[in-house]
Amino acid sequence: MHDLPAAGALWFVTGRDDANAREAIAAWREQHGDAAAQWRTIPGPLRAALASEPHLVHLQEEARQAERTTIQRHEAKVRAAQPRADRVLDVVGTLILCGVALSIIAIFGVGVWTIGRWIAS
């Protein structure tokens, strides 16, 4: 066998159970890790044709659960990062507002000084 993990995927689908098949299936599971990755390595036509096989149904359910867990982790990270982004926007907004206020005060001061010089002259 030149590609033991690929053979393991196909032997898993067929339900073969002998020493060679177990070795190949173990190599397939080791190479592809979680159930979602294992499910994606099974060719689509085989998944569709053998969808009612109990071991494939079980693997598909594990894959769906792994996908849900991954999505939930990602959403939790996004929610955790959101308040920090809001704080950054608050700081930037405050700095802009302070800059505008200082500009208005400076313009007002220059105007008062200019009018005072006109009156004095």
Q: What is the pLDDT of residue 34?
A: 78
Dihedral in degrees, nearest 10, Cα atoms 110, 115, 119, 120: 0
Among 31-35, 68-72, 84-88, 93-97, name the most confident range.
93-97
Give dist(CA 17, CA 14) in Å, integer: 9
Q: What is the pLDDT of residue 23?
A: 87
Give dist(CA 6, CA 12) in Å, integer: 10
Residue 82 has pLDDT above 80, yes or no: no
Q: What is the pLDDT of residue 110?
A: 96
Q: What is the pLDDT of residue 109?
A: 95
Helices 54-120, 4-14: crossing angle, 10 deg rounding: 120
Residue 107 has pLDDT above 70, yes or no: yes
